[in-house]
Amino acid sequence: MSNTNVLTLIGALLAGYFLLGLPLGGTFLAAFGPAIKIIAILTVLVFAAVLIYKGILDLLGKH
Protein backbone atom coordinates (compact mmCIF):
# COMPACT_ATOMS: atom_id res chain seq x y z
CA MET A 1 0.00 0.00 0.00
CA SER A 2 1.51 3.29 -1.05
CA ASN A 3 1.90 6.22 1.32
CA THR A 4 -0.04 8.47 -1.04
CA ASN A 5 -3.04 6.16 -0.89
CA VAL A 6 -2.93 6.06 2.91
CA LEU A 7 -2.64 9.84 3.17
CA THR A 8 -5.60 10.27 0.83
CA LEU A 9 -7.71 7.92 2.95
CA ILE A 10 -6.67 9.69 6.15
CA GLY A 11 -7.47 13.05 4.56
CA ALA A 12 -10.94 11.86 3.60
CA LEU A 13 -11.48 10.50 7.11
CA LEU A 14 -10.48 13.82 8.66
CA ALA A 15 -12.68 15.73 6.21
CA GLY A 16 -15.68 13.68 7.31
CA TYR A 17 -14.80 14.21 10.96
CA PHE A 18 -14.52 17.98 10.57
CA LEU A 19 -17.73 18.04 8.55
CA LEU A 20 -19.48 16.65 11.63
CA GLY A 21 -18.46 19.66 13.70
CA LEU A 22 -19.20 22.25 11.04
CA PRO A 23 -21.59 24.91 12.38
CA LEU A 24 -24.32 25.40 9.78
CA GLY A 25 -26.71 27.57 11.79
CA GLY A 26 -27.47 30.90 10.17
CA THR A 27 -26.22 29.85 6.74
CA PHE A 28 -28.09 28.79 3.64
CA LEU A 29 -26.87 25.24 4.32
CA ALA A 30 -28.81 25.02 7.62
CA ALA A 31 -31.71 23.34 5.83
CA PHE A 32 -29.37 20.57 4.71
CA GLY A 33 -27.95 20.04 8.20
CA PRO A 34 -29.37 16.56 8.83
CA ALA A 35 -28.31 15.31 5.40
CA ILE A 36 -24.81 16.74 5.85
CA LYS A 37 -24.51 15.00 9.24
CA ILE A 38 -25.50 11.67 7.68
CA ILE A 39 -22.99 12.15 4.86
CA ALA A 40 -20.27 13.02 7.38
CA ILE A 41 -21.00 9.96 9.54
CA LEU A 42 -20.99 7.67 6.51
CA THR A 43 -17.73 9.21 5.29
CA VAL A 44 -16.02 8.62 8.62
CA LEU A 45 -17.31 5.05 8.90
CA VAL A 46 -16.44 4.05 5.34
CA PHE A 47 -12.94 5.50 5.28
CA ALA A 48 -12.15 4.17 8.77
CA ALA A 49 -13.27 0.70 7.66
CA VAL A 50 -11.16 0.91 4.50
CA LEU A 51 -8.10 2.00 6.50
CA ILE A 52 -8.57 -0.88 8.95
CA TYR A 53 -9.07 -3.36 6.08
CA LYS A 54 -5.97 -2.15 4.22
CA GLY A 55 -3.96 -2.18 7.44
CA ILE A 56 -4.92 -5.79 8.15
CA LEU A 57 -4.07 -6.79 4.58
CA ASP A 58 -0.71 -5.06 4.91
CA LEU A 59 0.01 -6.83 8.22
CA LEU A 60 -0.83 -10.18 6.66
CA GLY A 61 1.34 -9.42 3.64
CA LYS A 62 -1.51 -9.66 1.14
CA HIS A 63 -1.39 -6.71 -1.20
Q: List, run by run, the mean pLDDT of 10-residue segments along the chain (63 residues).
A: 81 93 91 94 95 91 79
pTM of the model: 0.81
Domain map of the chain by residue range?
Answer: 3-60
Which of 7, 4, 6, 9 lies closest to 44, judged by CA?
A: 9
The pLDDT value given to residue 5: 86
Q: Which residues, 6 or more positions from 57, have their beta carbon under 8 angstroms from its beta carbon?
A: 1, 63
The pLDDT value given to residue 1: 57
The pLDDT value given to residue 62: 81
The pLDDT value given to residue 28: 93
